[in-house]
Structure 1
Protein backbone atom coordinates (compact mmCIF):
# COMPACT_ATOMS: atom_id res chain seq x y z
CA UNK A 1 0.00 0.00 0.00
CA UNK A 2 2.83 2.43 0.84
CA UNK A 3 4.48 1.83 -2.53
CA UNK A 4 1.21 2.54 -4.35
CA UNK A 5 0.76 5.73 -2.33
CA UNK A 6 4.30 6.86 -3.16
CA UNK A 7 3.69 6.16 -6.85
CA UNK A 8 0.52 8.24 -6.85
CA UNK A 9 2.15 11.11 -4.95
CA UNK A 10 5.22 11.18 -7.19
CA UNK A 11 3.11 10.89 -10.32
CA UNK A 12 0.99 13.86 -9.30
CA UNK A 13 4.09 15.90 -8.48
CA UNK A 14 5.77 15.15 -11.80
CA UNK A 15 2.67 15.91 -13.81
CA UNK A 16 2.13 19.26 -12.13
CA UNK A 17 5.78 20.07 -11.40
CA UNK A 18 8.88 20.66 -13.45
CA UNK A 19 11.17 17.64 -13.52
CA UNK A 20 14.67 18.68 -14.49
CA UNK A 21 16.36 16.24 -16.85
CA UNK A 22 20.04 15.85 -15.96
CA UNK A 23 20.79 13.25 -18.61
CA UNK A 24 19.14 10.34 -20.40
CA UNK A 25 18.62 8.31 -17.23
CA UNK A 26 18.45 10.82 -14.36
CA UNK A 27 15.85 13.47 -13.50
CA UNK A 28 15.37 15.73 -10.49
CA UNK A 29 11.98 16.38 -8.94
CA UNK A 30 11.61 18.66 -5.94
CA UNK A 31 15.29 18.19 -5.12
CA UNK A 32 15.12 14.39 -5.36
CA UNK A 33 17.47 12.79 -7.89
CA UNK A 34 15.66 9.92 -9.60
CA UNK A 35 17.75 7.36 -11.48
CA UNK A 36 15.72 5.40 -14.01
CA UNK A 37 16.31 1.86 -12.82
CA UNK A 38 15.98 -0.13 -16.02
CA UNK A 39 18.32 1.74 -18.40
CA UNK A 40 21.84 3.07 -18.85
CA UNK A 41 22.19 6.19 -21.01
CA UNK A 42 25.43 7.76 -22.26
CA UNK A 43 27.12 10.22 -19.92
CA UNK A 44 27.25 13.94 -20.60
CA UNK A 45 29.09 15.04 -17.46
CA UNK A 46 31.75 12.32 -17.24
CA UNK A 47 31.85 11.16 -20.85
CA UNK A 48 34.75 9.12 -22.20
CA UNK A 49 34.67 10.21 -25.86
CA UNK A 50 32.99 12.76 -28.12
CA UNK A 51 30.58 10.14 -29.48
CA UNK A 52 29.32 9.38 -25.96
CA UNK A 53 28.80 13.09 -25.26
CA UNK A 54 26.89 13.63 -28.52
CA UNK A 55 24.60 10.63 -27.95
CA UNK A 56 24.18 11.64 -24.31
CA UNK A 57 22.96 15.10 -25.31
CA UNK A 58 20.47 13.57 -27.75
CA UNK A 59 19.29 11.18 -25.00
CA UNK A 60 18.85 14.07 -22.56
CA UNK A 61 16.78 16.02 -25.09
CA UNK A 62 14.63 12.98 -25.88
CA UNK A 63 14.01 12.26 -22.20
CA UNK A 64 12.80 15.85 -21.75
CA UNK A 65 10.48 15.46 -24.75
CA UNK A 66 9.07 12.22 -23.38
CA UNK A 67 8.42 13.65 -19.91
CA UNK A 68 6.64 16.59 -21.49
CA UNK A 69 4.48 14.46 -23.79
CA UNK A 70 1.77 13.20 -21.45
CA UNK A 71 0.78 12.05 -17.97
CA UNK A 72 3.81 10.82 -16.04
CA UNK A 73 3.88 8.10 -13.37
CA UNK A 74 6.96 7.31 -11.32
CA UNK A 75 7.16 3.83 -9.81
CA UNK A 76 9.74 3.82 -6.98
CA UNK A 77 12.13 0.90 -6.67
CA UNK A 78 14.21 -1.23 -8.98
CA UNK A 79 11.83 -3.81 -10.49
CA UNK A 80 14.56 -6.47 -10.46
CA UNK A 81 15.56 -6.38 -6.80
CA UNK A 82 13.30 -3.85 -5.06
CA UNK A 83 16.13 -1.49 -4.05
CA UNK A 84 14.91 2.06 -3.48
CA UNK A 85 18.32 3.80 -3.71
CA UNK A 86 21.43 3.36 -5.82
CA UNK A 87 24.98 3.52 -4.48
CA UNK A 88 24.99 7.31 -4.93
CA UNK A 89 21.82 7.79 -2.88
CA UNK A 90 19.58 8.51 -5.86
CA UNK A 91 16.02 7.21 -5.80
CA UNK A 92 15.63 4.25 -8.17
CA UNK A 93 12.40 4.17 -10.16
CA UNK A 94 10.83 3.37 -13.48
CA UNK A 95 8.88 6.09 -15.26
CA UNK A 96 5.85 5.77 -17.50
CA UNK A 97 4.43 8.42 -19.81
CA UNK A 98 0.92 7.74 -21.09
CA UNK A 99 1.34 4.20 -19.75
CA UNK A 100 4.53 3.54 -21.75
CA UNK A 101 7.86 2.84 -20.03
CA UNK A 102 10.29 5.64 -20.96
CA UNK A 103 13.24 3.33 -20.41
CA UNK A 104 11.93 0.89 -22.98
CA UNK A 105 11.30 3.78 -25.40
CA UNK A 106 14.85 5.07 -24.94
CA UNK A 107 16.31 1.59 -25.53
CA UNK A 108 14.13 1.02 -28.62
CA UNK A 109 15.34 4.35 -30.05
CA UNK A 110 19.01 3.48 -29.44
CA UNK A 111 19.47 6.26 -26.86
CA UNK A 112 20.02 3.91 -23.91
CA UNK A 113 20.62 0.25 -23.25
CA UNK A 114 19.04 -2.05 -20.69
CA UNK A 115 20.70 -1.75 -17.27
CA UNK A 116 22.52 -4.99 -16.47
CA UNK A 117 23.87 -3.99 -13.08
CA UNK A 118 27.01 -2.24 -14.28
CA UNK A 119 28.00 0.43 -16.78
CA UNK A 120 29.14 -0.63 -20.21
CA UNK A 121 31.40 1.59 -22.37
CA UNK A 122 29.79 3.82 -25.01
CA UNK A 123 33.06 4.39 -26.86
CA UNK A 124 34.64 1.99 -29.34
Structure 2
Protein backbone atom coordinates (compact mmCIF):
# COMPACT_ATOMS: atom_id res chain seq x y z
CA UNK A 1 0.00 0.00 0.00
CA UNK A 2 2.91 2.26 0.61
CA UNK A 3 3.73 2.05 -3.08
CA UNK A 4 0.17 2.83 -4.10
CA UNK A 5 0.20 5.99 -2.03
CA UNK A 6 2.79 7.47 -4.33
CA UNK A 7 0.37 7.19 -7.26
CA UNK A 8 -2.51 9.05 -5.62
CA UNK A 9 -4.10 11.89 -7.44
CA UNK A 10 -3.14 15.24 -6.09
CA UNK A 11 -5.80 16.86 -4.05
CA UNK A 12 -7.64 19.89 -5.45
CA UNK A 13 -5.97 22.07 -2.85
CA UNK A 14 -2.51 20.94 -3.87
CA UNK A 15 -3.43 21.40 -7.54
CA UNK A 16 -4.52 24.94 -6.82
CA UNK A 17 -1.24 25.62 -5.10
CA UNK A 18 0.66 24.10 -8.00
CA UNK A 19 -1.33 26.14 -10.56
CA UNK A 20 -0.63 29.27 -8.60
CA UNK A 21 3.03 28.47 -8.67
CA UNK A 22 2.90 27.83 -12.44
CA UNK A 23 1.16 31.15 -13.16
CA UNK A 24 3.84 33.21 -11.45
CA UNK A 25 5.83 33.99 -14.70
CA UNK A 26 2.86 36.04 -16.04
CA UNK A 27 4.30 39.36 -14.81
CA UNK A 28 7.41 38.66 -16.90
CA UNK A 29 5.23 38.34 -20.02
CA UNK A 30 3.54 41.62 -19.19
CA UNK A 31 6.92 43.29 -18.83
CA UNK A 32 8.01 41.80 -22.16
CA UNK A 33 4.87 43.17 -23.87
CA UNK A 34 5.51 46.57 -22.33
CA UNK A 35 9.07 46.58 -23.66
CA UNK A 36 7.78 45.84 -27.18
CA UNK A 37 5.37 48.75 -26.93
CA UNK A 38 8.21 51.03 -25.84
CA UNK A 39 10.34 49.83 -28.75
CA UNK A 40 7.48 50.48 -31.18
CA UNK A 41 7.06 54.00 -29.83
CA UNK A 42 10.80 54.61 -30.24
CA UNK A 43 10.71 53.32 -33.81
CA UNK A 44 7.79 55.61 -34.57
CA UNK A 45 9.74 58.60 -33.30
CA UNK A 46 12.71 57.62 -35.47
CA UNK A 47 10.48 57.34 -38.54
CA UNK A 48 9.03 60.76 -37.77
CA UNK A 49 12.31 62.56 -37.07
CA UNK A 50 14.49 60.94 -39.77
CA UNK A 51 12.82 62.65 -42.79
CA UNK A 52 13.05 66.01 -41.04
CA UNK A 53 16.75 65.45 -40.41
CA UNK A 54 17.37 64.49 -44.05
CA UNK A 55 15.47 67.56 -45.32
CA UNK A 56 17.47 69.83 -43.00
CA UNK A 57 20.74 68.30 -44.21
CA UNK A 58 19.75 68.87 -47.86
CA UNK A 59 18.98 72.52 -47.16
CA UNK A 60 22.32 72.99 -45.42
CA UNK A 61 24.25 71.44 -48.31
CA UNK A 62 22.35 72.77 -51.34
CA UNK A 63 20.83 75.91 -49.92
CA UNK A 64 17.22 76.96 -50.03
CA UNK A 65 15.49 76.85 -53.45
CA UNK A 66 15.10 80.62 -53.46
CA UNK A 67 18.86 81.06 -53.02
CA UNK A 68 19.65 78.70 -55.90
CA UNK A 69 17.16 80.44 -58.16
CA UNK A 70 18.66 83.85 -57.46
CA UNK A 71 22.13 82.56 -58.35
CA UNK A 72 20.87 81.45 -61.76
CA UNK A 73 19.60 84.88 -62.78
CA UNK A 74 21.64 85.90 -65.85
CA UNK A 75 23.83 88.93 -65.40
CA UNK A 76 23.46 91.98 -67.60
CA UNK A 77 25.65 92.13 -70.71
CA UNK A 78 28.89 94.04 -70.41
CA UNK A 79 28.63 97.66 -71.58
CA UNK A 80 30.09 98.41 -75.02
CA UNK A 81 33.55 99.90 -75.38
CA UNK A 82 33.46 103.63 -76.12
CA UNK A 83 36.22 104.76 -78.48
CA UNK A 84 37.48 108.17 -79.48
CA UNK A 85 40.54 108.04 -81.71
CA UNK A 86 42.06 109.55 -84.82
CA UNK A 87 41.80 107.27 -87.86
CA UNK A 88 43.65 107.50 -91.15
CA UNK A 89 44.22 105.08 -94.04
CA UNK A 90 46.23 101.95 -93.30
CA UNK A 91 49.52 102.38 -95.17
CA UNK A 92 52.60 100.20 -94.87
CA UNK A 93 53.28 97.35 -92.48
CA UNK A 94 52.64 99.10 -89.15
CA UNK A 95 48.94 99.30 -88.46
CA UNK A 96 47.72 100.44 -85.06
CA UNK A 97 44.56 102.53 -85.50
CA UNK A 98 43.57 103.00 -89.13
CA UNK A 99 41.02 102.11 -91.83
CA UNK A 100 41.72 99.23 -94.23
CA UNK A 101 38.58 99.58 -96.36
CA UNK A 102 34.86 100.15 -95.98
CA UNK A 103 34.31 97.19 -93.62
CA UNK A 104 37.67 96.58 -91.89
CA UNK A 105 39.68 98.70 -89.44
CA UNK A 106 42.57 98.44 -87.02
CA UNK A 107 41.89 99.64 -83.49
CA UNK A 108 44.65 99.67 -80.88
CA UNK A 109 46.68 97.03 -82.76
CA UNK A 110 43.64 94.79 -83.22
CA UNK A 111 42.17 94.05 -86.62
CA UNK A 112 38.38 94.36 -86.64
CA UNK A 113 35.93 93.24 -89.29
CA UNK A 114 32.73 95.25 -88.91
CA UNK A 115 30.29 92.39 -88.46
CA UNK A 116 27.11 93.79 -90.01
CA UNK A 117 28.54 95.47 -93.12
CA UNK A 118 29.68 94.46 -96.61
CA UNK A 119 31.56 97.11 -98.56
CA UNK A 120 33.08 97.05 -102.06
CA UNK A 121 36.60 95.64 -102.35
CA UNK A 122 39.55 97.91 -103.08
CA UNK A 123 42.41 95.38 -103.06
CA UNK A 124 40.85 92.62 -105.18
CA UNK A 125 37.85 94.19 -106.92
CA UNK A 126 35.96 92.46 -109.70
CA UNK A 127 35.91 95.62 -111.78
CA UNK A 128 37.14 99.25 -111.71
CA UNK A 129 33.71 100.44 -110.64
CA UNK A 130 33.87 98.31 -107.51
CA UNK A 131 37.29 99.71 -106.60
CA UNK A 132 36.11 103.29 -107.09
CA UNK A 133 33.08 102.67 -104.89
CA UNK A 134 35.27 100.91 -102.33
CA UNK A 135 37.55 103.94 -102.07
CA UNK A 136 34.55 106.16 -101.45
CA UNK A 137 33.26 103.76 -98.77
CA UNK A 138 36.68 103.75 -97.09
CA UNK A 139 36.80 107.53 -97.03
CA UNK A 140 33.25 107.81 -95.69
CA UNK A 141 33.89 105.26 -92.93
CA UNK A 142 37.01 107.21 -91.92
CA UNK A 143 34.95 110.38 -91.66
CA UNK A 144 32.33 108.61 -89.54
CA UNK A 145 34.95 107.18 -87.15
CA UNK A 146 36.60 110.57 -86.62
CA UNK A 147 33.38 112.57 -86.24
CA UNK A 148 32.71 111.69 -82.58
CA UNK A 149 33.14 108.91 -80.01
CA UNK A 150 31.51 105.64 -81.04
CA UNK A 151 30.69 102.32 -79.43
CA UNK A 152 32.22 98.93 -80.17
CA UNK A 153 29.66 96.17 -79.56
CA UNK A 154 30.15 92.37 -79.57
CA UNK A 155 28.98 90.46 -82.61
CA UNK A 156 25.24 89.76 -82.18
CA UNK A 157 25.52 86.16 -83.40
CA UNK A 158 28.09 85.33 -80.72
CA UNK A 159 31.10 84.69 -82.97
CA UNK A 160 34.19 86.53 -81.76
CA UNK A 161 36.38 86.09 -84.87
CA UNK A 162 36.01 85.29 -88.54
CA UNK A 163 37.98 82.68 -90.48
CA UNK A 164 40.83 85.18 -90.99
CA UNK A 165 41.28 85.87 -87.29
CA UNK A 166 39.69 89.31 -87.42
CA UNK A 167 37.57 90.35 -84.46
CA UNK A 168 33.89 90.64 -85.35
CA UNK A 169 32.37 93.79 -83.89
CA UNK A 170 29.52 96.22 -84.52
CA UNK A 171 30.28 99.96 -84.55
CA UNK A 172 27.51 102.35 -83.58
CA UNK A 173 26.87 105.87 -82.38
CA UNK A 174 23.71 107.02 -80.60
CA UNK A 175 21.95 103.79 -81.53
CA UNK A 176 22.80 103.99 -85.26
CA UNK A 177 25.37 101.58 -86.70
CA UNK A 178 28.01 102.59 -89.20
CA UNK A 179 26.47 100.32 -91.83
CA UNK A 180 23.22 102.29 -91.70
CA UNK A 181 25.09 105.45 -92.70
CA UNK A 182 27.06 103.84 -95.54
CA UNK A 183 24.04 101.89 -96.76
CA UNK A 184 21.92 105.02 -96.92
CA UNK A 185 24.57 106.60 -99.18
CA UNK A 186 24.86 103.52 -101.43
CA UNK A 187 28.42 102.76 -100.30
CA UNK A 188 27.79 99.46 -98.51
CA UNK A 189 25.13 96.93 -97.69
CA UNK A 190 24.24 94.86 -94.67
CA UNK A 191 26.12 91.59 -94.44
CA UNK A 192 23.86 88.66 -95.26
CA UNK A 193 26.36 85.82 -95.44
CA UNK A 194 27.39 86.47 -99.06
CA UNK A 195 29.15 89.44 -100.62
CA UNK A 196 27.19 91.67 -102.96
CA UNK A 197 27.99 92.02 -106.64
CA UNK A 198 29.21 95.59 -107.14
CA UNK A 199 29.98 95.47 -110.85
TMscore range, shorter length: 0.7 to 0.9
RMSD: 1.8
Task: Using the TM superposition, give the Cα deviation of residue 108 of structure 1 relative to its aligned residue in structure 2, in angstroms.
Answer: 1.2
Q: How does 1:1-124 map to 2 (within 5 A)?
A: 4=78, 7-8=80-81, 11=82, 14-16=83-85, 18=87, 19-77=97-155, 79=156, 81-123=157-199
- Aligned mates of 1:17, 1:68 — CA distance in 2: 6
5+ residue gaps, structure 1: none
The structural deviation recorded for 1:113 is: 0.8
User: Which structure's residues are more often helix, by fraction?
Assistant: 2
Higher RCO, 1 or 2 (CA under 8 Å, sep at least 6)?
1
Larger Rg: 2
Distance change (3 Å), C-alpha of 1:2 and 1:56? farther
In structure 2, runs of 5+ residues without a counterpart are: 1-74, 88-96
Instruction: Return closer, same or farther for 1:17/1:3 CA change in 2, 3 Å cut-off.
Output: farther
Higher strand residue share = 1
Cα 1:112–1:96, aligned 2, differ >3 Å: closer, same or farther?
A: same
Partners of 1:67 and 1:120 in 2: how far apart?
23
Partners of 2:161 and 2:175 lie apart in 1 by 23
TM-score, scaled to structure 2: 0.54
Aligned residues: 116
Could you state the TM-score of these two structures normalised by the residue count of structure 1? 0.84
| Alpha-carbon distance change, 32 to 44 in structure 1, aligned in 2, over 3 angstroms | same
